[in-house]
Each structure stands twice: as C-alpha cells, then as structure tokens.
Chain A
C-alpha cells in the first residue's frame, strides 16, 4: 500500500529561490505533485522532516568522474554515490576522460551507465573540440542527441578565439552552454600556486591572477557577439569584477565558483600541502571576500565543486609535480552551509538559487524549484547538524581534500532523486 514511489514529506521548511515556508511535499511517480500545508494521502510513504529544510536538488556543474581511463581515481559508481552522499542530486561530468568524451558513443556510454548505477543524475559534458585539442569543433549536435548537456574543454583553455566563435555560433539553436576554463597558458607557465607573498616565501613558481582575468576578459568580448558562455571555477577578485561589468553590459555570461575559493586561501598551501593544490590556485583573503560578495550579488551564478579525484601517489610527491585538483562532492553542502549560511548569513533562498535554480537554468533543465509539476530531485538539509570531515567517511574513491579535519554546522540529511531516496543519514 505504501508505494516507495510515492512519498509525503511532512513538516519541513520548503526552500525555493523566491521564498520559504513550512509545508508538506507530495511526490508521486518521480514528480512533485503538491506542495501545501497539511497534505493527507494514504497511498504515500510518510516521512516526518520536522526541523529540516527541503531544497530543490543541488546540481554540481563541474565534476571529474575519471571514467573511462582513470578508474583508480574515481568511477561513475563511486562518484555518483559520493554525490548523493553529499546532498547533490545531479552532476555534470567533464569530458577530460581517457579517451576524451568527444563523440556521441562516449556520451551514450556515460548516460547508460549512470542510469544503471541509479544514484545521482548525470548530465554529461562533451568536448567542444575534437580530442580537446582546441582546433576543430567536435560533433556537438550528435552529442546533444545522445544526451550531452553542455560543452567544455575543461582542464585546458580554449585559446583559439576563432574556434570559440565557431562553437558559439554552431551551438546557438540548441541552447546548451559552452563552459570555459579560462587560463592564459603563457602567463601561467609552469606555476603551481598563487603568485604572491606566499609563493615568494615558499619558493614556488606562481600562477598570477592575470592569467585567469585576461582569458576571461578576452572570452567575454567574443561572447558579446556570438553567444552564451559559462565561466568555470572563478577564483579572483578581478575576475568577479570583469564578470559583474559584463553582466551590466548585457553580455550573455554566467559563472561558477567552488567552495574552496570561498572557504580557503593560499595560506592553506603552507608547508607544501599538495591537497590544497588546484588550478586555478587558492588566492588571498581579498579574493575570498570578493568571491563571497560575487555570490551574494548574483555576479557568480553557481557553486560547482570542480571535484577532481587523485590517487595518493599523485599527491604525495614534490609540490611542483603533484597533480592539480581536489575532491569536493561530499563537502560542498557542508562547506557552503558553514561558510555562507553560518558565517556570512546568506539567506537559504539564495543557497537554493546558487546550488540548484541557477545551475538548472544554465543547463536548461526543468528543475530548481520545489513546486508542483517539477521533478522530485530534492536535497534535504539538517541546518543544525555539527560535522567534521573524516577521510574514512567519504564515498569517493580518492581522499584528496584540504577539508579533512574541518568542522562546521549544516549538512545534507537526505537526497531524493526522481522521487526516490538515493541516500539518507542513518539515524
């Protein structure tokens, strides 16, 4: 009688980007069918979520799942399980797999496999250019037909502005975003951390902020004429200012930042901590402040983790040789709740927006609201839960995160994907 397909979530606070209210949520056949005070339904399985907060499902626009090619770091199975464990209902997988995800068959492989795994949803990202070489655009439309939701050559900047122009024009009828990893490789050279006082003190080659900002500015000026771009992993104050101005000028640009850019600074690299090495690198307190204000005022549209799993051996070596990147799927909600809600007083409605509604809009998927008619992808948060990040609790195959040992308040309590409970806190 109590069909698991039908859930009645009672007494939680329902958070939408516009407003929040205590209400019941009825889910039938994978969709939200009613949100109202005091719903009665004898068919549905009733879950009392008093004191909890129901958000539209969090979408992570930027994740590396490493399959195919580097299954020792992460697989679709472990990555999608890690996502729901962290309160993320859908992830966008970057195409820098081996081989590169640059054709419809690889997209189909990912879509089918994610379907079998049946944890978080997968929105695959295809390569903009063949082999991500930055030379010729790949079969973008065939990939869209197979399920690709966005395009990027992430890991590498798209340096040839003519190729960017062509890609933006070619993709226009399909309303799928081009996601850009903005980095001027001439400026970044062989740098391994933020160029500044600390790189001077540690004697490490720096990555100057100009290398990100110059590339963003250049891409924006092309997007002004030819289409819509989404800027990946914004890390500097200057980038926030460039994007803010571009939005004021009416240019079709959106942008994401990652939890580590609003939670950490280059100081976390001290003593050559390779688990704080990523590209772009952790910047300064001034940048961290600007990233937070960028999220607050809407300049930055989304929080995306740039989840980048690496094996112990890839990190336990000379700082210059250690791989760039940290994992983030399982700490994103926690760090966001602590740093933005607890410390910065972000309203929960804004969290719904930057973690769900905006990413959904960027991808063009019909989600991001807890309202009748929307898909039942939901992130339930316990705002009062205290946590400490411990490596053995992570579902991800890799443990490369500087957040291990961090403590805070507010974490995922339950993750619902297509109306089914994909993960819930053991009580």
Chain B
C-alpha cells in the first residue's frame, strides 16, 4: 500500500518469531563482514540516519554509529544538552524537523516508555527504539539472542535466567518477549520489590532464590542494578544486594559447568556480578557487544531497504 507507514522496530513485543529469526539470519551475514580486510559495504550509502539519545549511552550509541558506517550510511548525532530541547522544543517538533530535513530513519533512546511509539506515529520514516524507559530495548535482546545461538546453536528449549532489577529493565522485557516467542524457558529472579506486577503473564517463571534461578540454566543474563532509577528504597544497599543476588564464582558452582554468563553493560563490578565471574571463562560479555554491531546493521538494513521498496 502506498500510504502505509514504513516499518519501525519499536519492540520485540510487536514482532513474530519469524520476523525475529529473519533479523538474526540477516545479522549472521553482516557479521561475516567483520572478518574482511575492509569492514564496509555500500548498501546504505544514499541514506542518512539520525540518532537521538535523550539518555546517556556508550555501547548502544557507538554500536549504532559503527553499524551505520559499516553500511556506508551517513549518521547524524544528536544530544539534547546541545540542542533546542533545552529551549523547550517538544519531542514531536524535534523529530518532525529532522524528518523535514530529509533524514531517512530515526534511532531514539528516551527515558520514558512509549516515546519511540510517539515518534513513529508522528513521522513517516522508520524508527528504531534504542531503549525507552523501562519498556523495551529490542536491539539489545536481539544481540543477546544472536549470541546465544552462536554459543549453543539454538534457543528453542534452552533455559535462560535473568537476574536483577526486572522492574526497571527494558533489557529484561525485550529479552522476555523475544526469548519466549522463540521457545526458550525464561526464569526471572530478583528482590520482590524489583519484580513488576503480573510479569508471569509474559510467560516467565519468577523466583526470589538466585540459586534456584541459575540451576540448570544454559544462559545467565545478569542485569545492571540501575542505581539511577532507584527512586524509593527498593533494596537497602549494594552490599546486601551483592550478598543475596550477586552472581559470584561461589554461586556459579550450583549452575551448569558450561552455563554462559551475559551482561548488557555497563557493569557494576562487585554488585550484580563479581569481577571473577565478569572476566571468567564462560562470559561472553564482549562478544555480545561485538554482535551488537552486526544485529544493528541487520535491523537498519532491513528497515531502510524495505522502506525503499514501498
């Protein structure tokens, strides 16, 4: 249809298993580029993409920038601190202006759930959610799933433990949507004050016992304790958190010997994960980061090539 909105990636909530698998398949092809002497293709050389980061980010922003460069696309960085946002410009006005200048897609990170949806409904270009409040972080979950497949071959039937602040975690939510759609068994674990109401309805098991959570797990995804989101006392101290929920070498003795340790970063060493584990044998934390570029290349490629066809 001519007037149909271009596809956006707002969350894994909205995708089918097939759509997820197609992205991961595409990412495999892009990862191959990493091994080439010239890490670049010219696929999107006629495109310019703007990244709007309303929240600070190292990994995700750099990863999207690299992905765009490797695809040959132009990228336009933008931080609210040095923009008209400080003059009170609304999100909708900001993105409409950028669209009017001719950017081909918008990557957005925002502190509030639903902000990328608002952008998508007010523009006619693809929107990629790079993390919105504690709603979703779809590319993170895709790169997590990509890494899982690299490590163990497939996701169907695997047990994934997600440990930590589930309530404020967009990474947890996107992982839950993606993993359950692809047939994984997901168990979430954290202090009861950080388990959101009704999370079971997303098809996961809940426990407050970290040993129980990691037992038999094929993957242990350790979430960052988001100290900046802790309004009100969800737990008394990082010390007690580490004692009760931290992933340590001692605790890992209860897990499978080949259980894979994952973390979306940035890590609080000594809080949710001990340094020994973070740098230990089965951690794939840096591989996750590397895969992030391939996955984001796949997402951008698929959204922008598709919109060209319309």
* Contact assessment for B135 and A204 in the assembled complex, using a CB-CB cutoff below 8 Å: yes
A319 in contact with B231 given A200-B202, A203-B170, A272-B118 (CB within 8 Å)? no
Does A190 sit at the interface, judged by CB under 8 A?
Answer: yes
A204-B114, A318-B118 known; 20 other A-B pairs, CB under 8 Å? Answer: A190-B231, A197-B197, A199-B196, A200-B196, A201-B201, A203-B132, A203-B133, A203-B173, A204-B133, A204-B135, A205-B134, A206-B197, A316-B92, A317-B118, A318-B112, A318-B114, A318-B115, A319-B114, A319-B118, A320-B112
Contacts of B198 in A (CB 8 A): 196-198, 200-201
Does A160 sit at the interface, judged by CB under 8 A?
Answer: no
Does A202 sit at the interface, judged by CB under 8 A?
Answer: yes
Across the interface, B110 reaches (CB within 8 A) one of A195, A272, A318, namely: A318
* Contact assessment for B114 and A272 in the assembled complex, using a CB-CB cutoff below 8 Å: yes
Does A321 sit at the interface, judged by CB under 8 A?
Answer: yes
Does A189 sit at the interface, judged by CB under 8 A?
Answer: yes
Does B13 sit at the interface, judged by CB under 8 A?
Answer: yes
Does B232 sit at the interface, judged by CB under 8 A?
Answer: yes
Contacts of B197 in A (CB 8 A): 195-197, 199-200, 206
Does B104 sit at the interface, judged by CB under 8 A?
Answer: no
Does B199 sit at the interface, judged by CB under 8 A?
Answer: yes
Bound Cα distance from A202 to B10, whole angstroms: 12
Contacts of A320 in B (CB 8 A): 112-114, 133
A-B contact pairs, 14 of them (CB 8 A): A197-B197, A200-B173, A200-B201, A200-B202, A201-B202, A202-B114, A202-B135, A203-B136, A204-B114, A206-B197, A271-B117, A316-B92, A317-B118, A319-B113
* Contact assessment for B91 and A272 in the assembled complex, using a CB-CB cutoff below 8 Å: no
Question: Restricting to B190-240, which residues have a CB under 8 Å from any CB of A?
Answer: 196-199, 201-202, 231-232
Across the interface, A202 reaches (CB within 8 A) one of B113, B118, B232, namely: B113
Contacts of A197 in B (CB 8 A): 197-198, 201
Contacts of A205 in B (CB 8 A): 134
* Contact assessment for A319 and B112 in the assembled complex, using a CB-CB cutoff below 8 Å: yes
Report the 9 A-B pairs with minimum CB-CB distance, sorted nearest first. A203-B135, A197-B198, A272-B114, A203-B113, A200-B196, A320-B112, A318-B112, A319-B114, A203-B134
Question: Restricting to A308-335, which residues have a CB under 8 Å from any CB of B?
Answer: 313, 316-321
Bound Cα distance from A317 to B134, whole angstroms: 17
Bound Cα distance from A194 to B297, whole angstroms: 37
Does B16 sit at the interface, judged by CB under 8 A?
Answer: no
Interface string of A88-108 (1 = CB under 8 A from B): 000000000000000000000
Does B90 sit at the interface, judged by CB under 8 A?
Answer: yes
* Contact assessment for B113 and A204 in the assembled complex, using a CB-CB cutoff below 8 Å: yes
Contacts of A317 in B (CB 8 A): 90-92, 118
Bound Cα distance from A202 to B132, whole angstroms: 10
Interface string of A400-421 (1 = CB under 8 A from B): 0000000000000000000000
Closest to B199 in A: A200
| Number of residues on chain B facing chain A (CB within 8 A) | 26
Nearest-neighbour CB distance to chain B for A216, whole angstroms, equals 21
Interface residues of B (CB under 8 A from A): 13, 90-92, 110, 112-115, 117-118, 132-136, 170, 173, 196-199, 201-202, 231-232
Contacts of A195 in B (CB 8 A): 197
Q: Give the one of A195, A206, A313, A318 with max B CB within 10 A.
A: A318
Q: Give the one of B114, B135, B199 with max A CB within 10 A.
A: B114
Bound Cα distance from A200 to B134, whole angstroms: 9
Contacts of B231 in A (CB 8 A): 189-190
Closest to B90 in A: A317
Interface string of A270-282 (1 = CB under 8 A from B): 0110000000000
Bound Cα distance from A313 to B133, whole angstroms: 21
Question: Restricting to A174-226, which residues have a CB under 8 Å from any CB of B?
Answer: 189-190, 195-206
Nearest-neighbour CB distance to chain B for A275, whole angstroms, equals 13
Across the interface, A272 reaches (CB within 8 A) one of B117, B199, B201, namely: B117
Interface string of A290-324 (1 = CB under 8 A from B): 00000000000000000000000100111111000
Bound Cα distance from A203 to B12, whole angstroms: 13
Bound Cα distance from A313 to B90, whole angstroms: 9
Nearest-neighbour CB distance to chain A for B220, whole angstroms, equals 22
Closest to A190 in B: B231
Bound Cα distance from A319 to B13, whole angstroms: 18
Question: Restricting to A93-151, which residues have a CB under 8 Å from any CB of B?
Answer: none
Bound Cα distance from A201 to B134, whole angstroms: 10
Nearest-neighbour CB distance to chain A for B87, whole angstroms, equals 16
Bound Cα distance from A295 to B112, whole angstroms: 36
Nearest-neighbour CB distance to chain B for A359, whole angstroms, equals 35
Bound Cα distance from A272 to B116, whole angstroms: 11
Bound Cα distance from A313 to B118, whole angstroms: 13
Contacts of B134 in A (CB 8 A): 203, 205
A321 in contact with B202 given A203-B136, A203-B170, A206-B197 (CB within 8 Å)? no
* Contact assessment for B112 and A201 in the assembled complex, using a CB-CB cutoff below 8 Å: no
Contacts of B202 in A (CB 8 A): 200-201
Contacts of A272 in B (CB 8 A): 113-114, 117-118
Nearest-neighbour CB distance to chain A for B85, whole angstroms, equals 12
Closest to B110 in A: A318
Bound Cα distance from A151 to B81, whole angstroms: 44
Nearest-neighbour CB distance to chain B for A201, whole angstroms, equals 7
Bound Cα distance from A195 to B134, whole angstroms: 14
* Contact assessment for B91 and A318 in the assembled complex, using a CB-CB cutoff below 8 Å: yes
Nearest-neighbour CB distance to chain A for B186, whole angstroms, equals 14
Contacts of A190 in B (CB 8 A): 231
Contacts of A271 in B (CB 8 A): 117
Contacts of A321 in B (CB 8 A): 112
Bound Cα distance from A313 to B122, whole angstroms: 13
Contacts of B199 in A (CB 8 A): 200
Contacts of B170 in A (CB 8 A): 203
Contacts of B90 in A (CB 8 A): 313, 317
Closest to A320 in B: B112
Bound Cα distance from A319 to B232, whole angstroms: 21
Bound Cα distance from A367 to B232, whole angstroms: 48
Contacts of B201 in A (CB 8 A): 197, 200-201
Nearest-neighbour CB distance to chain A for B197, whole angstroms, equals 5
